[in-house]
Structure 1
């Protein structure tokens, strides 16, 4: 499995796998992407970042702000492609960082 953090209010768009852009018709299923019940809270930037888990065959993900939660579209990035997904060990290193606060969401 691979992991990434995604800021609250952002959504996942297109997904790329080993053979290129993920084709649900060809693979007969959507990619396995699961938001975990764990997030990081950055006090300085007042930002909540959720941990996501994806299957190994996912190489890249397009993420973008959720239109429903945007308040000022002029200050928003249109989209970003995540090309560097992290390992479980790297997640633990990030969680152990002194600059972040880990929260577990009990309401999910």
Structure 2
């Protein structure tokens, strides 16, 4: 209910929702991930031998989606995204390995 209200409010204010996959190929993100970020990803191999990851962060996925089209898009972009992110983290009371997020990217002149 809160998520639906937040989405409605963002759309009323001119933001468009971007739907990002929960599962993606690992290779495009490999150069961006080091140390703890890399260790937190859930990785596995698909039937064709390709390495896949569960979404551990929205920002790299959004950047990959938008990068080929930046010359065509009117800036600043008014976007938001929502959904689960999954990271391997030590289990603690009150903390889960997946969490929900609904946010808009930080507003800049570039995107």
TM-score (norm 1): 0.26
Higher strand share: 1
- TM-score, normalised on structure 2? 0.26
